């Protein structure tokens, strides 16, 4: 999850750098190199970082859910006392 946060921070830093370089420039032709070389990759890093965080959270939730199901199964076995019905 920390990797996702770092990717998002890096992407936002690239976007901020791009903005600082093109904010005072009125010519689109002079802005495009910065946008193409920093802003688009920065946006990509933000998207990848958000995806990494989402996947990490889902994996963590799945592990917690699996542990809860194991605990529930153990409790059901204990309540049943080994007298399972087929």
Tokens of residue 65, six digits: 């859910």
In a domain, 37, yes or no: yes
Please check whether residue 16 lies inside any domain of the structure.
yes
Residue 53 to residue 59: CA distance in whole angstroms: 10
Q: What are phi and psi of 14, to 5 degrees?
A: -65, -40
- Domain-embedded: residue 86: no
Could you give the number of structural domains in the chain?
1
pLDDT at 5 exceeding the cut of 60: yes
- pTM of the entire predicted model: 0.77
**Could you give the CA distance from residue 4 to residue 45 in angstroms, rounded to a whole number?**
9
* 76 occurs within a structural domain: yes
Instruction: Convert the pLDDT of each residue in 31-66 to its tens digit.
Output: 999 889 999 999 999 999 999 999 999 999 999 999
Q: Are 45 and 10 in contact (CB under 8 A)?
A: yes
């Amino acid at each position: 999850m920390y990797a996702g946060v770092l990717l998002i921070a890096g992407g936002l830093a690239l976007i901020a750098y791009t903005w600082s370089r093109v904010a005072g420039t009125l010519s689109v032709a002079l802005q495009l190199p910065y946008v193409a070389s920093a802003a688009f990759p920065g946006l990509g890093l933000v998207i990848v970082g958000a995806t990494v965080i989402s996947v990490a959270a889902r994996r963590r939730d799945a592990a917690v859910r699996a542990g809860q199901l194991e605990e529930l199964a153990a409790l059901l076995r204990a309540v049943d006392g080994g007298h399972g019905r087929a």
